[in-house]
Structure formats: C-alpha cells, structure tokens
Amino acid sequence: MGMSVSISRFLAIAGVVFGLAPALAQAQGTTISGQVTGTGGEPVAGASVSIPTLRVGGFTDDAGRYTFVAPASATGTTVTLMARRLGFLPSSAPISLAGSAISQNFSLSPNATQLTGVVVTALGLTRERSQLGTAVQQISSSDLNVTHDMNVLNQLSGKVSGVVMNQSGTQGGSTNIVIRGQNSITGNNQPLFIVDGVPISNQDHGSASKGGGLDAAAEGGLGKDFGSAIDDINPEDVATVSVLKGPNAAALYGSRAANGVVLITTKKGSNTTGKVQTQLTSSLTWDKPSILPDYQNEYGQGAGGAFRFVNGKGAGVNDGLDQSFGPRLDGRTTGCTFVPGTPSNPFLPHVYDASAPCSQFNAPAGAPWVAHPDNVSSFFATGKTLANTLAFSGGTDRAQARLSVGSQQVDGIVPNNTFRKFNSLLSGSLTVNDRLTASGDIQYINNDNHNRAGTGYNSGIMEQFVWFGRQVDMSALRDQVTNPNGGLFNWNYNFHNNPFWLQYQNPGEDVRDRVTGNVSARYHIADWLDATARTGSDIYRWQINQDFGQGNIVYANPAYAGAYTQFAEYSNANNSDLLLTANKHAGAHLQFNATVGGARRFERYNNDQQSTPGIIVPGIYNSSNAGITPTLTSLVTRRQVNSVFASAATTLNDWWTVEVTGRNDWSSTLPAGNNSYFYPSINTSIVLSDAIPFLKSGLLSYAKIRGSLAQVGADADPYQLQTVYIGQSTKFGSLPQVTLDNSQKDPDLKPEMTKSGEVGLELGVLDGRATLDMSYYAKSTTNQIVNLTVSPASGFQSQVANLGRIDNKGFEALLDVTPINTAGGFSWNTTFNYSQNKSKVVSLAPGIDTYVIYSDWYQNLEARVGQPYGVIYGYKYARDDAGNLLLHNGLPQTGDQGVIGSIQPKWVGGWNNTFKFGPAQLSFLFDYHKGGKIFSVTNMWGDYTGIFKNSLQGREVDWNNPGLVIKGTDDVTNAPNTTRVTAEQYWESLYYNAEQYTYDDSFVKLRNLRFGLDLPASFASRMHAASVNIALIGNNLWTSTKVPNIDPEFSYSTGNAQGFEFATIPNTRSIGLNLRIVP
C-alpha cells in the first residue's frame, strides 16, 4: 500500500522531468560539440557552452564534453561561442554555422575560490557550487596529504566545519567522527562513507575503557582498539573528500543520511595522449608518545611507608600491592620496613627497622632504594612509519587508467608492535563509442597488524603504569620477561603481567583482507540525458587472534598451557543503482538538472568467535588443542534496502537554483506494514551578487544565500522485530542451556525520522581573496529506534521501541583569507573554521528521563532529558549547606549522584596557514576543542596509587605526623575539620568520585606542520620528473590542556561511549620527511 502511494509521488516527480523534456528539445541545425578542459588537460565538467546571441547552449559532462545544436535558421552566420564556468575565466571563440557538424574545444584558466568550482555531491554527481542549496565542504588531495597519517580521516581534523573528531589515543585505533551532533540515542552516529559511489563499511572493534574490545568473547577481554575499516583507504589515492553535512545535503542517500556523508572520490587516469605518468610519494616519520603522565619520583612501591619484596604476592611487606605509598626513595639500603611488632596504624609511633635490608624484586637484598624516573618512558620505543605510494596513470581520449600501489609499514611505539598495510587500486574507463562509457575500479587492501597495545583494564599497558612502583627498574623487566622455571617474571604477581610479556608472550594478530570494486556504464541517450548503471561491493574478511602464553595472569587458566580468543568476520555489502540524469539548457537563462533512479543495497555479515581459557600443548592456539571446551558464538545478519529517488533542479540565469528531491526506501528490517518510507527535501540558492548586480563592487565579489529543508528516515538493525531465545555453546555437563533474550523486541517498529533545516551565507570579497561560508542548522530526530533500558523487574533488561527525540542546532563557519599574494611568488593563505553544536535530549520514553549509554566505575554516560546528549552522571562530594566538603574522620565523603557535565564540546575549530615563497612552502594547523568534559580513570587510579606527582601533596616522611588536614566540615561536630590524615588515606578516599575526576577537556593542538621545498627544475628534470618536492613534516607536535597526565584527545571506538578515558596508549607525536615526485 505504502509503496503504491510512494510510487505515484515518484512518478509525479519523474513526470516533471520527462514531461518537460520534449518541449525543450531543439530543432535540427548545426551540431556543435567539443571538450572543455582545464589548463592541465583535465576535463571540466558542468561548464556552460553557449551562443548567447542565439540563446542556445549545453553543459559539459564528466568528461568535459558538450554537444548541442544551433538552430537551422542561424545557418550561415558567424557567432561567438562562449564557455563559462564558475571558478574559471570565461573563454570564447568565433564559429561559422555551416549546417554541418562543428568541433570546438576550450581550455579554461582557473579562477577558483572556496566558493566556486565543482563539488561532488550526493550520488557522486558533480554540481556547480554556486547552485548548491546545502552545506557541502570539499577537501582536495593536497589538503589531505599535508602530512602523512595512518588514517585518512585524521587528516580532516581541524579542516572541516561542523565536524567533531576524536582521534584514537592508540596507534592504529579508531577515530570517532560526528557531524553536526549525535542524532540517535542508541544507534550509529557515525557518517556514511562512500568511495566512488559505493558505500563502504567503517565497522570497528573498538574497546570501551574497562576492558572492552572483544569482551563478549573473552572473560579477560582483550581491551584493544582494532581501528575501524575506513583505515584501509590510502590517503594518496584520494582525489577529493566531500563532506555532506547532514540530512539536507545527503537526503538522496536516504536511510543513512541523517549523520551526514563522507564522500571520497579516488584519483583517476586522464588523457595523456598515451603517455604513462608516474608519481611517487614517500614519507618517513619517527613517532614518540605525545603525553605521558607526570610521575612522582619521591616514594616507591608499598603502602603505609613500608615495603619488602618476597614473592610479589603478599608474602613480604606490601609486596602484593601495586601502588607507590612506600618508603621514600632516598637511596636507603636498609629500613624499608618498620620495627616488627608495631602496627602499621599511621597514628602510632613508627620506627624504620635499620637492621632490615631493603628488598626489591630484581636486586639483591640491601640494594639501594631509588627511583627510576624514566621507567615508564623507557618502555616505549621510537616508532617508525614508512609509507610509499607509487602510481601510474595515463590514457588516450578513449581509454584512461590509473594503477597505484601503496604500502605502509609502522613499527609502533610499544615494543614488538607492527602495522603493515598494502593497498592497490586499479581504475579505468573506456569510451566504447560516442554513447557508451564504461568504467570501474578495483581495490585490494591487506592489513596485517601484530601485537597492538592493550588499553583499559586487564591487558592495558598504561593500566600497569598507573598501578606501579616508582622504584621498578624497567630494564630488569625487559631483560628477563620469563622466569627460569617458565611463567612470567614481574614486579608484582597478583595483578600484572610483565609489560614486555604482554607484547612478546601474548601474540596478537589482526588481519583484514578487503576487496572493494565497482563497475559502471554510462549511456549517453541524448545530448542532455544520460543513463548510468552501477554496481559495487565492499567485501572483507577480518581475522583477529589473541593468544595468551602459559602463565599469563588473568584469563589464562594456570592449570593449562595458555589461552586464546579468535574472531573472524566476513562482510559483503553490495550496492547497485541505476540513474537517469538530465542536464538541459532552455535558452541561455534556464538550466535544468534532474535525476531519477533506483537502488538496491544488500548487506551480509558473519561473525564467528571462539575462546578458551585453557589449551593443552603450549604454543598451539586453536580449537583442536583446547583443554577447556571453547566458547563459540556466531552471528549472521542480512539486510536489504530497495529505493527509488528523484531530484529536479532548475537554475535561472545561473544565479537562482531551486531543487527538490524525494526518496522512498523499503527496508527489510522493518515490519511489512511499516517498511516503506518516503522523505522529501527542497533547497534553494541565490547568488545575490549576480541577481543584484549593484551589490558587486570592488570589495564584494560574491554573495550567495541558501536554504534547505529535508526529512530523512532510518531503518532498524536486523532482527529487532521478534524476541528470541539464545543458546550457549558450552553445556552444563552435557545439558544444553538456553535463555530468553534480555532485550524485548518490537514487532511494530516504525522508521526513525530526522527533520532538518539549514540556511547559509557565502561571501567573497576582493576577488575571492577572502571568503566566508556560514551555516545555521536545526534538526530533530524523532521516533528513535532504541533499545531502551527498562525496569529489570519487568523481566527484560531493555526493550526495542520507537521513542524519544534529540534536537541539534548549531552554527558553523569557514573563513578563508589570502592576505598576501605577491607577484614575486610570496603568498599566505589562512583559514579558520568554527563549529558549535547544541544538542538536547528532548524526550525518552514516558516516565523515563535517562538512558545509560555507558557505565564504568560507578559513573554513567547518559542521555538525560533536558540535557545535551552524553552527560557524565556520577557521585559528587558530600557537602554541607554552605557548600563546604563534609568530612568524616578527616576524609571527604561521597554524596549524591548528579550530572557532572556534558561531553559535548562548546565549540571546535581549526586554524590552518599556508605560506608559499617561491619554491618553499610552510603550513601548519592548530586544532581547538573548547569545553566538553571527560571522566579520567587514569587520574582516578593514579591518585589512588600515589604515582602521580600531585599525590606528593601532604606526604610526610614522618609517619607519626601525617600530613593533610582537609578543608571542610566535620560531619559529627559540624566544626571545621582538624583531623589529620595521611596523603595515602586522602588519595585513596577519592576514587569513584566523578566530581573529582571529571575534567574540562578543552585543548589546543598543533595538529600538523609541514615545511616543503620544490627542488630546482634542473634537478627534477635529471630525475625525469616535472617536480620534486621534499618536506619536513610533523604531527601532533604540541598540546595545551588543563587535563593532567593524559592526552585530552582519545577515542576507543566509533561507538557512542565517548568521554570516558582509561589508560589509552598516548597519541603519537611524529616528525619526519616526505618526498613527492611528480612526472
């Protein structure tokens, strides 16, 4: 039923296009055709070629070709043929209309500004920027590859307005990207990624802070961030990245457009008259941890001022403990423990036992008790990243191709950690005849990574360095990873694996083999009408193995020879679509663009996991060697979405464009009655400076306003309609075990809906020397498909339902100024971008005012009604009426829970500068995040364990006179506190206090810096190259933040659980060289 209604709407739109078409067709006369290219020979699409006096003309297609017919009545006259395109200087040529075919090519010189030119928009269609009524920002290859980064997304950081990015705190980890705020309470808030017209997966296996990662599979949890699938794209293959900021620009993508679209177009071969061009890009960088905690070096391991190592499990004095409240690190050789018999109550007399030698895990009794200030930093190695891409491209007028091969070899900053990536991309196009063009590309990627560093609890490297002894000698652990009798050698045996053990004895490998490809054929039906059929797939297999050596603490059962977890994922997403695109001039004043099409998307996803805590023979990590029955899980999901869509745009006089779009989706994941949903959009743009010519002056060269309204729908995840039972692979003895799913499904789900409106202003002054692009938007997502937490007493943990509403509104601006551009070749370009987004959870379910997105250490990340999406909710200090801390026995007390703050930044921005002076270039980018809170578990435990410098406050060597009198009110006497406590008591009393450990996450980063030099042409020509550029590059060079001890920027995953930090491996600071040879 729903379908027939929608089809009639679709046909109505189609009718507008086709109904008009015959009327616009021209009578026979002189056929004029040709190609419009740029000065480099590259085709210029969307150029208008016309004879103004006759009011006839055409537009160039993607290959830059145009053809139109001049009326027969004009035959015999000589007229001026004009080729014009925004962003280029117009060009004209006289032609004589003879009645027979005329060929006329144009070469246009660029006159581009930020506001003009061609951009890639929805469905991969190229559009004149001046005609766009929505916000799209395009980043070109040169901006993307200023410096090398492992992840192409990271190069967008600070350059695109409206986007909040958090790069992973771990090499090779996930980058979280949110465009214009989160729309969905529980669903995916990452944008859709499309490469050359085909959506590709950005699946991640990130970890949350406390173990996460493949937690479900393994009791111990791997706690590793395995990155996300978008990492596979080689930045050197990218020609442009278009960011469609939200539903308005992306409406034609339907279901997945609400979060915006990142549209990646790869480089293609061009007509080089048969010559093959070769391009080489190499970069080599050296990587160091950006920020390590600020450790104290005054007190060693232990508690209550005492320590003696016997077996590292508690047989000595405090030697099972993993904290640094032990004796002062003053080089003493005796007296690390108190005279026996005196209880270690800090308020009783204590006397260090001078007759007892100090004892450590790695040194003979009586070795001096000293700090190893570099014991954490010396664990890290200098990483090395070598990236090479070699590309060949070329073609004739009928066939073009490009082949690139790239490799990236990274030696991580933690020992024995490597990332290897190999990319190859072959693309080509063939003009079969005047009407048919076929093109395609295929890409193979192999990612092979070893021994990623664990984050968070259990296997985390930095977790160990938060629970640590400051006297621990890292070289002793490096030299002796295992004990002579097998098993690990370490400074503590209760809780920790030797950190080198984690990297060497617990082998981990993750491999992803991926093929993406698409083929398309375009048929040139008429001068103004093309049909394009395209099909493409993104197929990968992702295998993750994590082995645990014999003797590993946590997860591996010591009665066995080790343990393993394995994870295999297969994904195949296929997209096919068929498009009819019409591009038509009606006289010199009116231009029509229209598209109608249909698409089918089919996704198949398999996921198999197995794990066992016990294997029999050491070193054989597979199921046939399992001593304890492995736990197996498997999952298959499939999803299909069928769509029809249409858009029609009319441009009057090149300055006023109105576009309407409509799309209807039918999704497999919604129930039969609700699975069809239609969504329309309308947008308009007016180039004021052309519409009202007197506006144009010496100062103002360009002004455009735009506005848009859009609605997009979204379907559910597969299998959300029926509650099921879940079986377990492990039996109870021999008995099968089954349980009802804890999530109650909803057979009557409806699609989610996002409504969005935006207005924009684009200004150019002084011939484009300064441009400003601003947008204001407001959007609202309703009918959210959520798996809402319900009262557990109802019998379910959560319930799938259509509930709730989130609103986002915001402002974004991009200012681009070229203050200096001298004839002498000196120029300075500077851009600022600014984005602010205000989100508000307007409603959840009736009677429910909060949804817990993530929970850890008593603190929640919640979506609370009336608050921005993502607030940290946790315990605050107990206070008296006057706001003073309420103390009990001299120590702060935990009070009520409450909202501590939102993780959403108030605004983010970037400031990018490029200086050119002759052959030299200097560029640098500052990245700003203002506001937003984080909850730092690293600081919480680092204070507790007394290893951070701030925990020195109030420490006394004299244990009989402990050091701190906390300011506050005693809860019994109601008088100001006078009770003294030790620093240890104080710092250990604060944990799980969210008020204490939630920080303002504002930061400024010098994101990247590049100093490049074009080598002299004479040198280049000796290398048979047109240009050779060599550059010094740096990433993440400097950070200013108020957050102590950690890098303020981190992300464990692409999921919604952000803002909770624990023990991420620090971001890397990289410095290196880049070489680019262009033929």
Partner 1 sequence: MTNKYLLRAGAGAAILASLLACGNGLTDVNRNPNNPTDVSAQSLFTNATRQTVERWMGTTYNWRGGEFLAQHLAEVQYTDEDTYIRLARAYMTDTFDGSYYQELEDLRKVIGKGMDASDASIWGPAVVLKTWTADFLTDSWGDVPYADALASDSSGGSGNPVYDKQQAVYTNFFTTLSGAATSLAGAGGASLGSADAIYGGSPAAWAKFANSLHARLAMRLVNVDPTTASAELTKAFAGPGGIFASNADNAALPWPGDGVNDNPFSASLQQRDDYRISKTFMDILKGYNDPRLSVYAHTTDAGTYDGAPNGLNQTDAQPYIVSASRVGTIFFPSATSYTSYGGPGATLPSQLLTFAEVRFIQAEAAERGMGGLNPGQAALFYNQAIQASMDQWGVTDATAIAAYLARPEVAYQGGTAGLTQIAIQKWIALFGDGGNAWFEWRRTCQPSTIAAGPAATEDFVPRRFYYSQTEVSVNGANVDAAVTDQGVDNFGTRVWWDKPANAPTCAGVNLNLP
Residues 6+ apart with CB under 8 A from 311: 319, 493
Q: Is 790 in the site for partner 1 (CB under 8 A)?
A: yes
Which one of the spans 30-38, 476-484, 595-603, 821-829 is the region binding partner 1 (CB under 8 A)? 595-603
Q: Is 732 in the site for partner 1 (CB under 8 A)?
A: yes
**Beta strands 399-411 and 418-431: pairing type?**
antiparallel
Neighbouring-strand partners of residue 421? 408, 447
Q: Which residue blocks in 933-1016 are alpha helix, DSSP H?
A: 937-944, 983-988, 994-997
Annotate each residue in 436-475 with x if it binds partner 1 (CB under 8 A) or - if it does not, as one string: ----------------------------------------
Which of 358, 440, 370 lies closest to 399 in space, CA to CA? 440
Which one of the spans 58-66, 148-156, 367-375, 624-632 is the region binding partner 1 (CB under 8 A)? 624-632
Q: Is 733 in the site for partner 1 (CB under 8 A)?
A: yes
Q: Which of 718, 895, 919, 931 is close enough to bind partner 1 by CB under 8 A?
A: 718
Which residues within the stretch 476-505 sit at the binding site for partner 1 (CB under 8 A)?
A: 494
Q: Is 707 in the site for partner 1 (CB under 8 A)?
A: no
Largest CA distance in the chain: 119
Classify residue 551 by burial, with Cβ atoms within 10 Å: 0-12, 13-18, 19+.
buried
Min dist CB 470 to partner 1, Å, is 18
Annotate each residue in 851-890 with x if it binds partner 1 (CB under 8 A) or - if it does not, as one string: -x-----x----------------x---------------
Report d(CA 284, CA 299) in Å as an integer.
Answer: 40
CB hemisphere CA count around 284 (13 angstroms): 2
Which of 943, 934, 941 lies closest to 1051 in space, CA to CA? 934
Say how many residues touch partner 1, by CB under 8 A: 102
b/e for 842-851, b at 16 or more Cβ within 10 A? ebbbeeeebb
Neighbouring-strand partners of residue 799? 744, 788
Which one of the spans 19-27, 271-279, 361-369, 678-686 is the region binding partner 1 (CB under 8 A)? 19-27
Contact 1006, 1049 (CB under 8 A): no
Contact 989, 943 (CB under 8 A): no
Which residues within the stretch 135-154 sit at the binding site for partner 1 (CB under 8 A)?
A: none
Q: Which residue blocks in 357-433 are alpha helix, DSSP H?
A: none
Q: Is 848 in the site for partner 1 (CB under 8 A)?
A: yes
Min dist CB 669 to partner 1, Å, is 6
Q: Is 669 in the site for partner 1 (CB under 8 A)?
A: yes
Q: What are phi and psi of 780, to 5 degrees?
A: -145, 130
Q: Which of 43, 90, 627, 680 is close enough to bind partner 1 by CB under 8 A?
A: 627
End-to-end alpha carbon distance in the chain = 60
Q: Which of 636, 957, 1017, 1023 is close enough to bind partner 1 by CB under 8 A?
A: 636
Q: Which of 613, 757, 901, 910 is close enough to bind partner 1 by CB under 8 A?
A: 613
Q: Which of 737, 821, 960, 1040 is close enough to bind partner 1 by CB under 8 A?
A: 737
CB hemisphere CA count around 147 (13 angstroms): 29
b/e for 79-114, b at 16 or more Cβ within 10 A? bebbbbbbbbeebeeebebeeeebebebebeeeebb
Q: Is 318 in the site for partner 1 (CB under 8 A)?
A: yes
The token duo for 449 is 């990574």
Neighbouring-strand partners of residue 401? 394, 428
Min dist CB 104 to partner 1, Å, is 23
Contact 687, 702 (CB under 8 A): yes
Which residues within the stretch 254-313 sit at the binding site for partner 1 (CB under 8 A)?
A: 303-304, 313
Q: Which is nearer to partner 1, 59 or 419 (CB)?
A: 59
Q: Is 667 in the site for partner 1 (CB under 8 A)?
A: yes
CB hemisphere CA count around 953 (13 angstroms): 10
Which one of the spans 139-147, 288-296, 318-326, 777-785 is the region binding partner 1 (CB under 8 A)? 318-326
Q: Is 644 in the site for partner 1 (CB under 8 A)?
A: yes
Q: Is 614 in the site for partner 1 (CB under 8 A)?
A: yes
Q: Is 792 in the site for partner 1 (CB under 8 A)?
A: yes
Helix (H) or strand (E) holding 780: strand 770-782
Q: Is 714 in the site for partner 1 (CB under 8 A)?
A: no
Contact 1033, 147 (CB under 8 A): yes
Q: Which of 239, 442, 628, 695 is close enough to bind partner 1 by CB under 8 A?
A: 628
Q: Which is nearer to partner 1, 303 or 466 (CB)?
A: 303
Q: Which is nearer to partner 1, 672 or 699 (CB)?
A: 672
Min dist CB 799 to partner 1, Å, is 7
Report d(CA 41, CA 274) in Å as an integer.
Answer: 13
The token duo for 51 is 């004879």
Q: Which is nearer to partner 1, 338 or 911 (CB)?
A: 338
Q: Which of 464, 550, 591, 789 is close enough to bind partner 1 by CB under 8 A?
A: 789
Q: Is 103 in the site for partner 1 (CB under 8 A)?
A: no
Q: Which is nearer to partner 1, 448 or 717 (CB)?
A: 717
The token duo for 69 is 């017919």
Which of 455, 454, 458 lies closest to 554 in space, CA to CA? 458
Min dist CB 453 to partner 1, Å, is 24
Which one of the spans 48-56, 416-424, 525-533, 751-759 is the region binding partner 1 (CB under 8 A)? 525-533
Rg of the chain over CA atoms, in angstroms?
Answer: 32
Min dist CB 373 to partner 1, Å, is 26
Q: Which of 1, 22, 100, 433 is close enough to bind partner 1 by CB under 8 A?
A: 22
Q: Which is nearer to partner 1, 62 or 984 (CB)?
A: 984
Q: Is 653 in the site for partner 1 (CB under 8 A)?
A: no
Length of the chain equals: 1079
Q: Is 21 in the site for partner 1 (CB under 8 A)?
A: yes
Q: Is 739 in the site for partner 1 (CB under 8 A)?
A: yes
Report d(CA 72, CA 485) in Å as an integer.
Answer: 98
Contact 665, 641 (CB under 8 A): yes
Q: What are phi and psi of 25, to 5 degrees?
A: -65, 145
Which residues within the stretch 338-367 sit at the binding site for partner 1 (CB under 8 A)?
A: 343-345
Q: Is 533 in the site for partner 1 (CB under 8 A)?
A: yes
Min dist CB 192 to partner 1, Å, is 20
Classify residue 266 by burial, with Cβ atoms within 10 Å: 0-12, 13-18, 19+.
buried
Q: Which of 288, 420, 450, 638 is close enough to bind partner 1 by CB under 8 A?
A: 638
Backbone dihedral region for residue 578 (phi beyond 0: left; psi -120 to 50: alpha; all else: beta): beta
Neighbouring-strand partners of residue 686? 656, 705
- Eight-class DSSP state of 803: -
Tell me the three state secondary structure of residue 472: coil
Q: Which is nearer to partner 1, 264 or 646 (CB)?
A: 646
Min dist CB 645 to partner 1, Å, is 10
Which residues within the stretch 896-935 sit at the binding site for partner 1 (CB under 8 A)?
A: none
- Eight-class DSSP state of 482: B
Min dist CB 793 to partner 1, Å, is 4
Q: Which of 123, 250, 317, 885 is close enough to bind partner 1 by CB under 8 A?
A: 317
The token duo for 632 is 């197996």
Q: Which is nearer to partner 1, 317 or 770 (CB)?
A: 317
Min dist CB 54 to partner 1, Å, is 20
Tell me the three state secondary structure of residue 938: helix
Q: Is 35 in the site for partner 1 (CB under 8 A)?
A: no
Q: Which is nearer to partner 1, 84 or 496 (CB)?
A: 496
Q: Is 596 in the site for partner 1 (CB under 8 A)?
A: yes
Q: Which of 795, 825, 918, 976 is close enough to bind partner 1 by CB under 8 A?
A: 795
Which one of the spans 328-336, 439-447, 724-732, 1016-1024 is the region binding partner 1 (CB under 8 A)? 724-732
